[in-house]
Structure formats: structure tokens, C-alpha cells
């Protein structure tokens, strides 16, 4: 199955605490049904001391945003979003923006 949101797309969060923020997709996680968005979902994780890391410590980790909470941005200046559809032509499958009168997505 083809993905509606792919790496390097610009997306907008449409629900939740971060509603309205936009960012670039760093990675798509199909098994978790989520996307990693640049600058969003960064959490601070603390680690207990262990034999491998005797001092312990902390690092920033990226947590995914659910795929259903993001929409593809088709016009970066206005921030207009669209659902994504598909069109088959000459044996190739391409993504189209439904709200932009089926305009093909780069």
C-alpha cells in the first residue's frame, strides 16, 4: 500500500496540543502509524546508570505523531492543507491533492 505522507513532505498538525504547527517529515513509521516531524515530539529521556553507561545521563528522543493528526500542506505561503488521493496513469501511480482540484503532488 502506498503512503499518503512521505519523507520530506511539509505537514500541519490538525488536532491536539500542537494544533496548527507545521513541520517537515523526518521519517514515516508505518508499523506505529506515525510520523516524526522536525522540531515536534522531542522528549527528554533520562537513563539510569548501568554497566555500559556507569554515569547514567539523559538524551533527547523523537516521539511519533499519529498519522491521523497530520495533514499535507499543499501551499506553504497560505498553509492550506489537503487530503491525498491517487491517480493511475500509464502504469504509474501518483499522489494528487483532493482539495486542489486533483493537482498532482510533486
pLDDT at 40: 92
pLDDT at 49: 96
Residue 61 DSSP label: E
Element (H, E) at 64: none
Count of beta carbons in the 10 Å neighbourhood of residue 25: 19
CA angle in degrees (0–180, nearest 5) for 77-40-86: 60
Q: In which band, very low, low, confident or very high, does the pLDDT at 106 lie, cut at 50, 70 and 90? A: confident
- Write down all domains in the chain, each with its CATH number in brackets: 10-49+58-77 (2.30.30.30)
Report pLDDT digits (tens) over 47-88: 999 999 999 999 999 999 999 999 999 998 998 999 999 999
Report pLDDT digits (tens) over 17-40: 999 999 999 999 999 999 999 999
Q: In which band, very low, low, confident or very high, does the pLDDT at 2 lie, cut at 50, 70 and 90? A: low
Question: Using H for helix, E for strand and C for coil, what is the string for 67-82?
Answer: HHHEEEEEECCCCEEE
Cα 75 to Cα 64: distance, rounded to the nearest angstrom: 24
Amino acid at each position: 500500500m502506498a503512503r499518503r505522507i512521505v519523507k520530506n513532505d511539509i505537514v500541519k498538525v490538525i488536532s491536539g496540543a500542537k494544533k496548527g504547527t507545521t513541520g517537515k517529515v523526518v521519517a514515516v513509521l508505518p508499523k506505529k502509524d506515525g510520523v516524526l516531524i522536525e522540531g515536534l515530539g522531542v522528549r527528554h529521556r533520562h537513563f539510569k546508570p548501568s554497566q555500559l553507561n556507569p554515569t547514567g545521563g539523559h538524551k533527547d528522543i523523537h516521539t511519533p505523531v499519529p498519522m491521523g493528526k497530520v495533514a499535507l500542506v499543499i501551499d506553504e505561503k497560505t498553509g492550506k492543507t489537503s487530503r491525498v488521493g491517487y491517480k493511475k496513469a500509464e502504469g504509474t501511480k501518483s499522489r494528487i491533492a483532493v482539495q486542489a482540484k486533483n493537482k498532482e503532488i510533486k
